[in-house]
Chains A and B, each alone.
Chain A
């Protein structure tokens, strides 16, 4: 019986040892986002857990972490997060792939990977924010949407341009946070993780 790459990676990454890590990553996404609000940072930082688990376990685990973080956020805090699950899938997949390519070994490659991630996130979230929410997401970045609408851009263009302006900063900082977290993990703990070679 033939299996797809996704199925093979799924069985390899989602085991009884990694399930609690995925749940931890999903919870970390939510809590880091709230920490950013607590110390009044004008950023989301709501994908740190996804990136961390994608790096430490693999891309499929990263995708599942992101999806469950948004599901949990959706069920308990705000249903709107459920609609952004496709964005978290892209973040998890991309982070896992670049981690395997060695992006988290040096700070500048991490930063570069974060900027590209921001562009990808902007591309994925723009149609959802435009068609589901009419370009409004109740974040501080709505002022950017307002500005782009005022200079004559369409809803999709405005949301995409807003994403281009805000997401690369947010995602590169998230990647750097993960880079620093990885450098602080004691070696005995790191060696117990499937993706220890990525750190």
Chain B
């Protein structure tokens, strides 16, 4: 039999502090120190059980961005030549600038990815409410995530229907701009009316009336904070800030 204790969710603040520390390092550490931070972060992310989620976003978007950054900044930065490949001359200053931007971006993206890959949406929402965040924001977040999928499904159905009626995406740009409306108008009107009805339902349920009158607020006590994770996380964050501060004087 499942006891009520098993329904409790555990929130580990360590993930949050690892992300905070890495973000602080990305902004305040020198380029050499950022390399060390990136190595440590990659190690932590690789050992994480959700590593595929962390690296998927990185490989899909950030890696091509960094490579293009090297090409654009390397070729067009004003400075002394560093690498010559055929007719292309890469400038030293441009490559250093691209490295600095690439390092910062990688640290930011992997640290944010590390946090969201390890803490699920429901737990974040309930933790935020428990911490005193405005429940209106939390509800907007939960609902917008749910609505993206609903709108995409509806759009797919409208697109298929409009394609059957002759929507052709190979025509010129002005015709394609005109095609936006048969897709967007039914989609927007359907969900606008539905959102208004949802608003009435929320009002009727007393969403704003009392904190205890909705399920999200009543489940606050079910979140268990991992104190050990929080202590380690705070120490890590303080060390990061101390290093950043010390670098100002060295």
Minimum-distance CB pairs A-B, first 7? A149-B76, A23-B143, A134-B101, A27-B147, A17-B199, A20-B198, A26-B144
Assess the B199–A19 pair: CB atoms within 8 A.
yes
- Which one of A69-77, A93-101, A103-111, A117-125 contacts B? A69-77
List 26 contacting pairs A-B, 8 Å CB cutoff, sorted by A: A16-B207, A17-B202, A17-B203, A18-B199, A19-B140, A19-B202, A20-B194, A20-B195, A24-B191, A24-B192, A30-B148, A31-B148, A31-B155, A32-B184, A34-B155, A35-B183, A38-B159, A40-B176, A41-B176, A42-B173, A45-B180, A132-B101, A134-B73, A136-B68, A181-B184, A189-B192
- Selected from B169, B181, B187, the residue in CB contact (under 8 A) with A38 is B169
The complex places the Cα of A135 from the Cα of B94 at a distance, in Å, of 12
Check A39 for interface membership: any CB of B closer than 8 A. yes
Count, chain A residues at interface, CB 8 A = 66
Distance between B88 CB and nearest chain A CB, rounded to angstroms: 13
Assess the B109–A138 pair: CB atoms within 8 A.
no
Check B196 for interface membership: any CB of A closer than 8 A. yes
Residues from chain B with a CB closer than 8 A to the CB of A83 are: 108
Check B30 for interface membership: any CB of A closer than 8 A. no
Assess the A68–B140 pair: CB atoms within 8 A.
yes
* Chain B positions 132-163 with a Cβ under 8 Å from a chain A Cβ: 136-137, 139-141, 143-148, 150-152, 155, 159
Assess the A76–B202 pair: CB atoms within 8 A.
no
* Chain A positions 166-199 with a Cβ under 8 Å from a chain B Cβ: 173, 177, 180-181, 184-186, 189, 192-193
The complex places the Cα of A74 from the Cα of B68 at a distance, in Å, of 21
- Selected from A34, A35, A75, A152, the residue in CB contact (under 8 A) with B78 is A152
The complex places the Cα of A145 from the Cα of B192 at a distance, in Å, of 38
Assess the B208–A184 pair: CB atoms within 8 A.
no
For the A-B complex with A134-B69, A135-B72 known, give 7 more contacts whose Cβ atoms are closer than 8 Å: A16-B202, A21-B195, A24-B194, A28-B151, A31-B148, A134-B97, A135-B69
Residues from chain A with a CB closer than 8 A to the CB of B75 are: 149
Residues from chain A with a CB closer than 8 A to the CB of B77 are: 149
Distance between B51 CB and nearest chain A CB, rounded to angstroms: 15
- Selected from B60, B140, B177, the residue in CB contact (under 8 A) with A64 is B140
Distance between A152 CB and nearest chain B CB, rounded to angstroms: 7
- Selected from B139, B145, B196, the residue in CB contact (under 8 A) with A17 is B196
A38-B169, A79-B57, A82-B112 known; A142 and B72 CB under 8 Å? yes
